Structure 1
Amino acid sequence: MKFTDSPVIELSVHDTRLSFQQDNGSMHVGTSVWPCSLVLVKFAERWDPLTCAAAENPYAALLNFAGKRGVELGAGCGVAAMGLYALGLRDVVVTDIAPVMPALRHNLKRNKPALKKALKTAQLYWGNEEQTNSLKPPFDFVVATDVVYLEETVAPLIGAMERLVADDGVVLLGYQLRSPEAHEMFWEMCRGVFEVEKIPHEHLHPDYAYEEADVYVFRKKRK
């Protein structure tokens, strides 16, 4: 399920209004806006420590973005990175493969007036350790949404997550089942590397709690 076939998707994050142009006719899935990016951003907005009282917020520590570094993997149109930037994750690098970079850069430029800044970008193929190292890990937050759909990319994705995230950092994953084979492989491999926490569905933003979309938090297993 795509969010919509409309050529332009709009997303409000508190008082910031983001706008994403998508190309549904492209050969690359990264040029479309997929639901999990929206679900993840609106979850973070709902529990933003700056607007949700700590006593009522089970995610106050998790979503404290002040002074933290982040990187988005397979960013596509850049929805998650820009949404989290609007919520305070100021030091963030937005990455994808070469064919998707024009669409990504276009959307970053499109939202520069709303964000007051064009976010940093980098080309990244998950299995390329030289590219991974050039990002200067570790990161406090590794962000990925709707990235599990091909079996051959599962191992490189998990490897990139492990290399990029700090020992005390987290991976924020927006997830929807796309391929049963990739799904099975991903979760089997993940549980060997990460402690996995699934966000209860009732904790998602009520307007963006799609039945088929979930948010997970990964933390590195202690050696």
Structure 2
Amino acid sequence: MKFTNSPVIELVVNNNTLSLQQDNKTMHVGTSVWPGSIVLVKFADHWSSLNPKTPNPNPYSDLLNFSGKRGVELGTGCGVAGMGLYLLGLTDVYLTDIAAVMPALKHNLKKNKPVLKKSLKIAQLYWANSVQIKALSPPFDVVIAADVVYLEETVRPLVETMVKMVAEDGVVLLGYQLRSPEADKLFWEVSGEVFKIEKVPHEDLHPEYNYEETDVYIFRKKKNLIEDEKTVKEDSSS
């Protein structure tokens, strides 16, 4: 699989073609299409029940059954993962990022409206901003994140946001590539405290989108965290 610096990237998802504009010359990493988002979407596409060529048996049939589920993407950038999973059945999805990335995101959503058939919801979200998080009305069944771990100082706010966003029985779908050793080390330490983490075997990724340096992970809240959250809610309501 090859990734390109081409200003336009086309990605086929559920027999629809997303056309994604990117700009690698800006100072904002969110205006580029990164491998993690593509690998994540094509993994879901490969195992989707909507795909007539899906391998059988399908160990991911429950995980990737998005019908009737709410989703939110953190650090959506150009919108690849959120748009892709919407085309795979995610019913209600918010695409979120910082203000500087919004013009690129809005452009791609407008460009792909004929494929999406609607305008997907967008919102500014600075990780760990409690007001902005509350405005999105969590929890969500599916939290999407791809290539979002690259600065050590943003790791704890990111994980905190994941925890607040995802439902007790929900999942975080993470497309991941090591960008910074320091951020990587801290991310796995912090996320391991609150999430049960499952790595998708590389042989289960899409055979044509199986980039050796990019992985897909499935995060689920640990039971002790769920119990702690319930206790906090009960205390606050009493």
TM-score normalised to structure 2 length: 0.91
Distance 1:54 1:140, change over 3 A: farther
Structure 2 unaligned spans of 5+: 225-238
Q: Which residue of 2 is the match for residue 217 of structure 1? A: 218
Q: CA RMSD in A?
A: 1.2
Q: Which residue of 1 is the match for residue 14 of structure 2? A: 14
CA distance in 2, matches of 1:54, 1:99: 40
Query: Percentage identity across aligned positions?
Result: 68
> Which secondary structure state, in structure 1, belongs to the residue aligned with residue 6 of structure 2?
coil
Q: After superposition, what is the alpha-carbon deviation per residue over 1:78-105, rounded to whole angstroms, capped at 9, x for unaligned?
A: 0000000110002000000000011001
Aligned 1:114-193 pairs, distance under 5 A: 114-193=115-194
Kindly provide the amino acid, as one letter, of the partner of residue 18 in structure 1. Answer: L
Offset of 1:4 from its aligned partner?
Answer: 1.4
Kindly provide the amino acid, as one letter, of the partner of residue 121 in structure 1. Answer: I
CA distance in 2, matches of 1:222, 1:216: 18
The structure with more radius of gyration: 2
Structure 1 unaligned spans of 5+: none
CA distance in 2, matches of 1:42, 1:4: 16
- 8 Å CA contact 1:42–1:204 kept in 2: the answer is yes
Kindly provide the amino acid, as one letter, of the partner of residue 181 in structure 1. Answer: E
Q: Which residue of 2 is the match for residue 28 of structure 1? A: 28
> Which secondary structure state, in structure 2, belongs to the residue aligned with residue 206 of structure 1?
coil
- 8 Å CA contact 1:54–1:60 kept in 2: the answer is no
Offset of 1:54 from its aligned partner?
Answer: 8.4
Offset of 1:66 from its aligned partner?
Answer: 0.3
Distance 1:12 1:54, change over 3 A: closer
Q: After superposition, what is the alpha-carbon deviation per residue over 1:152-200, rounded to whole angstroms, capped at 9, x for unaligned?
A: 0000000000000000000000000000000000000010000000000
- Greater displacement, 169-178 / 10-19: 10-19
Kindly provide the amino acid, as one letter, of the partner of residue 16 in structure 2. Answer: T
Q: Which residue of 2 is the match for residue 60 of structure 1? A: 61
Kindly provide the amino acid, as one letter, of the partner of residue 51 in structure 1. Answer: N
Q: Which residue of 2 is the match for residue 37 of structure 1? A: 37
